[in-house]
Amino acid sequence: MDRIRGPLNFSVNGELGFLVEGFDSPPQILMPYTHAYYLDLVEAGAYAKVQDLYAWRWESQPVPEGPARMVRELRSRPEVRVRIAEMKRFDEEVRTILQLYNEAWSDNWGFVPATEAEARQMSRDLKFIADPHLVPFVEIDEQPAAFALAVPNLNEAIRDLDGKLFPFGFLKLLWRLKVRRPRNGRLLLLGVRKEFRSRRFAGLAYLLCDEIYRQASRRGYEWAEFSWTLEDNHLINSLIAKIGCRHYKTYRIYEKSL
C-alpha cells in the first residue's frame, strides 16, 4: 500500500466524506455530518484534498420547458416504457439497479463494483423504507436502459426518537414512514446504460427526473437532495442545475502518501 484515502465506509458505495459546506442543515439519509474542525485536524495530519463531492437541493418543481420537450418526445415513442419498482419482486429490482450501476458508473473516479452480497444487503436495508413510486425504470424495447433510486428521508422520521425504538418508537417510525410519510427524500442513484448515451436518447436522465417529480408531487414530497456528484463531473452537474437544483453542501475526501 502506498497511500491512504478517506473517510470511506467502506468504499464510494457507502457513506463518505467530511462536510465542508452546509453545516446549517441536518444530514440526509446515508449522508454523514461532521464538524468544521475535523478539516483542520485531518489537514494537520498531512492529508490533502483528493476529491470534493456536491449535494444539491431540489425544490419540488417540474422539469423546465427545454428539457421537457425532450421528455415529451421520449414518452411518445412506442419502444420507450417508464415504470416504477415492483415491491413484490424487490430483490430482483435491486439486482437490476446494481447491474446498471456497475455499467453506468464504471468510468467514474473511485468506482468500486457493487457485489452480489451488497445487492442482498441493499435489498434488506431499503425494503422497509423504500417508496416504489420513487424508483423509476426506463425500458427500451423491453430492456432496462436507465433507472433512478430515491428514498424517503428516514432521518426526518427518527430525529426525536433518541435512538429508542421500543416500546413506542417503532410504532411512531412506522406511522411516519407509511402513513404520514416524510416530506423530503434523497436521490441516491441515477444512471443510464452507456449504449443509450446518444443523441437519440439524450433526454433519458431528464425523463427520470420528470417521473420522480410527478410521483413525488402526488405523494406530498416537498423537496429532495440529489447526492452526491463529483465536483469535476461537469456534464451531470450541468444537467442537475438545468432542472433547478441548487448546490447547497460540499463533502471532501482526503488522501496522503504512505
Higher pLDDT, 167 or 246: 246
d(CA 232, CA 16): 17
Domain extents in the chain:
3-257
**Hey, is 50 helix, strand or coil?**
strand
Is residue 177 over pLDDT 90?
no
- Output the pTM of the full model: 0.92
Tell me which architecture the domain covering 3-257 has in CATH: 3-Layer(aba) Sandwich (3.40)
d(CA 163, CA 67): 43
CA angle (167, 170, 172) in 5-degree steps: 105
CA atoms within 13 A on the CB side of 48: 4
> Which residue is listed with cell 437519440?
200
Is residue 159 over pLDDT 90?
no
pLDDT (mean) for 213-229: 95
pLDDT of residue 190: 95
> Which residue is listed with cell 431540489?
58
Largest distance between two CA atoms of the chain: 59
Phi and psi, residue 233, nearest 5°? -90, 75
pLDDT of residue 20: 98
Is residue 129 over pLDDT 90?
no
pLDDT of residue 72: 97
The three cell numbers of residue 142 are 423491453
